[in-house]
């Protein structure tokens, strides 16, 4: 895909609650320097704490893309958003969204974008073809976040790693593999929407040969032990041929996402499964640390869980939002 132009104006539409605007929230949290403000319709109940801007104000501040940062049930585009999108195109904005339904499938929006020469980025849908993967070793280094389940912090962990690595002057790039990650990175591939034959090849394309000291920090998806999505994960593991993996876990999770009767596999079993998978394309692959999402715990509980987990597995263990990713980067630098 073509990179998405920034700065962004984050459109929250008529979001009924904060959770509906979590895409925008992720962008505001990880790329505040790209966000000139938020645009909310009168009945919006979400608030990112950014300045409210009209389209005209945002354009005057240099915003180049209106980012649809709100998700309806089913990923549909609300009719109420269309006037804003059309006016944004008139004012010279591109549009970007990670919804299941494509902005480009709205005839009025597509026609206006064509007329104005503006781009529409439907990031959930791959906009190019990919070659079949080969598994051939590439120069440069790669880290992949993996996990015991979906939605346990793989994207946040990868972004925290990139931030910490860059702060230390390391040569690192976050590589996005899902829609929110793509809006944060400005490009990437939504691997779960790639035809199955091409997933590994898409990830090889996303993490190409690079300088020997360069790290791709690749956003993981799901788990090789998740019965719904493991094929996506395995293609991602093989395609990224990771030198290092960080295993992400959410200790309060009672069952695998979407599967009420299926317990979350343990950390040890999950490490073994991902290391075995990764060694198919990188014999040196290893898990170098753990990232625990302690959002559901008190500070004291979180401290205890992080310490106990570190002791149990003998690996640096962080919650990137609570403790930062420093110990993981220490381990990477020791590799």
| Residues engaged in binding its own copies (CB under 8 A) | 132-136, 191-197, 199-201, 224-225, 227-236, 238, 258-259, 261-262, 273, 276-277, 280-281
Q: Burial code of 268-302, b = ≥16 C-beta within 10 A, e = fewer? A: eebbebbbebbeebbeebbbbbbbbbbeebeeeeb
CB of 249 to its own copies, least distance (A): 18
Nearer to its own copies, 80 or 276 (CB): 276
List C-alpha distances in Å: 95 to 9, 80, 100, 324.
Answer: 10, 16, 15, 33
CB of 58 to its own copies, least distance (A): 34
- Phi and psi based region of residue 275 (left: phi greater than 0; alpha: psi -120 to 50; beta: remaining): alpha
Nearer to its own copies, 228 or 309 (CB): 228
Nearer to its own copies, 150 or 244 (CB): 150
Of 64, 43, 53, 73, the residue nearest 11 (C-alpha): 53
Residues 329, 291: contact at Cβ < 8 Å?
no
Compute how many other C-beta atoms are within 10 angstroms of the C-beta atom of residue 169: 7
CB of 196 to its own copies, least distance (A): 4
Nearer to its own copies, 16 or 205 (CB): 205
Nearer to its own copies, 222 or 246 (CB): 222
Bond prior to 65 in cis (omega within 30° of 0): no
Q: Give, rounded to a whole angstrom, the gap between the first and last alpha carbons of the chain.
A: 33
Q: How is residue 329 annotated by DSSP?
A: H
Compute how many other C-beta atoms are within 10 angstroms of the C-beta atom of residue 76: 11
Nearer to its own copies, 208 or 227 (CB): 227
Nearer to its own copies, 168 or 255 (CB): 255
Q: Can you tell me which residue has the tokens 């299941």?
A: 100
CB of 82 to its own copies, least distance (A): 25
Nearer to its own copies, 51 or 135 (CB): 135
- Two tokens, residue 322: 């609570």
CB of 176 to its own copies, least distance (A): 16
CB of 3 to its own copies, least distance (A): 23
CB of 72 to its own copies, least distance (A): 19
Of 310, 23, 311, the residue nearest 319 (C-alpha): 310
Whole-angstrom distance, CA of residue 327 vs CA of residue 1: 34
């Amino acid at each position: 895909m073509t990179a998405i132009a920034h700065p962004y104006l984050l459109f929250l539409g008529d979001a009924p609650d904060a959770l509906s605007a979590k895409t925008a929230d992720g962008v505001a949290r990880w790329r505040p320097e790209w966000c000139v403000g938020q645009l909310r319709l009168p009945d919006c109940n979400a608030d990112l704490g950014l300045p409210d801007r009209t389209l005209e104000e945002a354009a005057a501040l240099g915003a180049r893309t209106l980012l649809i940062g709100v998700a309806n049930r089913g990923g549909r585009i609300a009719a109420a958003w269309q006037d804003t999108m059309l006016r944004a195109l008139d004012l010279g904005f591109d549009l970007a969204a990670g919804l299941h339904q494509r902005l480009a499938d709205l005839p009025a929006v597509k026609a206006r974008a064509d007329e104005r020469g503006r781009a529409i980025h439907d990031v959930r849908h791959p906009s190019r073809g990919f070659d079949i993967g080969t598994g051939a070793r590439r120069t440069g280094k790669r880290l992949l976040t993996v996990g015991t389940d979906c939605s346990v912090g793989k994207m946040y962990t990868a972004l925290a790693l990139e931030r910490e690595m860059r702060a230390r002057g390391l040569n690192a790039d976050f590589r996005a593999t899902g829609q929110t990650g793509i809006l944060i990175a400005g490009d990437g591939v939504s691997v779960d929407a790639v035809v199955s034959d091409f997933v590994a090849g898409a990830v090889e394309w996303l993490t190409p040969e690079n300088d020997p000291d360069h790290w791709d920090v690749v956003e993981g998806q799901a788990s090789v032990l998740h019965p719904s999505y493991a094929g996506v994960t395995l293609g991602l593991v093989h395609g990224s041929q990771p030198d290092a993996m960080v295993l992400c876990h959410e200790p309060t999770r009672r069952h695998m996402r979407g599967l009420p009767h299926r317990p979350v596999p343990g950390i040890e079993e999950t490490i073994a499964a991902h290391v075995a998978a990764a060694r198919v394309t990188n014999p040196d692959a290893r898990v170098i640390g753990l990232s625990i999402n302690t959002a559901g715990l008190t500070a004291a509980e979180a401290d205890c869980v992080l310490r106990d987990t570190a002791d149990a597995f003998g690996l640096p263990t962080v919650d990137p939002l609570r403790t930062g990713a420093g110990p993981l980067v220490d381990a990477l630098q020791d590799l």
